[in-house]
Amino acid sequence: MKNTFSIHKKCMIRSISPVLLSSVVALGTFGCKRQKETPAGANNETDSVSVVDTIGKTPDTVYTLSSELYTADPSAHVFNGKLYVYPSHDFESGIPEDDLGSHFNMEDYHVFSMDSVGGEVTDHGLALHIDDVPWAGRQMWAPDAAHKDGEYFLYFPVKDKEDIFRIGVAKSTTPEGPFKAMDKHIEGSYSMDPAVFEDTDGKYYMYFGGIWGGQLQRWRNNEYHGEDTYPADDAPALSPKVALLADDMAGFAEEPKDVMILDENGNPITTGDNNRRFFEAAWVHRYKDKYYLSYSTGDTHKIVYATGDSPYGPFTYRGVILDPVLGWTNHHSIVEYQGKWWLFFHDSSMSGGKTHLRSVKMTQLKHRPDGTIQRMNTYVEP
């Protein structure tokens, strides 16, 4: 199935900062030009040094991946010169909403690709269904993908028969699949949101984890305890995990480790600091010899980032990438394509604000000369 990226022109932007922002926007069609506009309180210089944004700037263009399917949690990669997106696939399950995400009852994955930003997007159809995963129980959440030695790997979190989230892997000879799942989940894996980072030395690392519905709070020292246990508000927050992948890409080469996220004074971000603490959706990219760990703050609905000198961290908090969007969740990825950096995320604008029916979006991401990332606001009124 093929369709063309739809383009959102200046959207109605809701400021999350104390500064009131009211920018009237309209929906346009591909090819129209739009005038740049700076929100009240935004920094107008993208090349300034040590910039601290207090409000997100409205992007010039926001693209929607598909108007045919509800998609979320996009993981974007460049394979063979094409841009591939691996999202989860939302549908109306009829399950009541709760804090554990029971209403996100996804059952399969589709893969999308494009040759150019803003051009034709191909939906390659069903890549993997939960019925084809022998150990799976329910809820196929945010996936990721990787390539090595002619094989493509789809990593996915799904609850096992005991309702515990594990991370599985499926293989294909093509980036679009279909993928064949392995008979067992990755040994030692747990929680959700796998994200695989390939470093310049050819090593692959998997980051994973998420609290609340992601069950990270039920694990201590890589052992499952069953009960929900959170640190005190003034204690270090729960961290995403990282593990070096084995040569066959189907297992861990080491025990998962904590990824430490520090504040500007070198102290761990605390549980009570929910504007900065990790919630879910870890992603790592490398830019000018710095490692960028970005993630969702969950109940404060931001995509934020921290930087470090090693894929293991520690990472020092730097700021917000994306302000809250329409809908409760957000989940993102960052990739370089055709000489520019791109942020993939989702919102609930296509469903009129239904938080379990989301749509993947894409917009340009800008690194400043000092290494900071320009903060954005893409909120669309339902």
- Catalytic residue numbers, as ranges: 73, 280
Q: Is 75 exposed, middle or buried (0-12, 13-18, 19+ CB in 10 A)?
A: buried
Could you tell me if 82 and 62 are in contact, meaning their C-beta atoms sit under 8 angstroms apart?
no
Token pair listed for 173: 């000879």
**Cα–Cα distance for residue pair 218/205, rounded to 1 Å:** 23
Token output for 343: 């942020």
Query: What is the C-alpha to C-alpha distance for residues 81 and 118, in angstroms, rounded to an integer?
Result: 16
Query: Where are the strands (E) in 184-302, listed by range?
Result: 195-198, 204-208, 219-220, 223-224, 241-244, 257-258, 261-262, 280-287, 290-296
318: left (phi over 0), alpha (psi -120 to 50) or beta: alpha
3 state DSSP class of 132: helix
The Cα–Cα gap between 145 and 158 comes to 15
Scanning the chain, the segments in alpha helix (DSSP H) are none
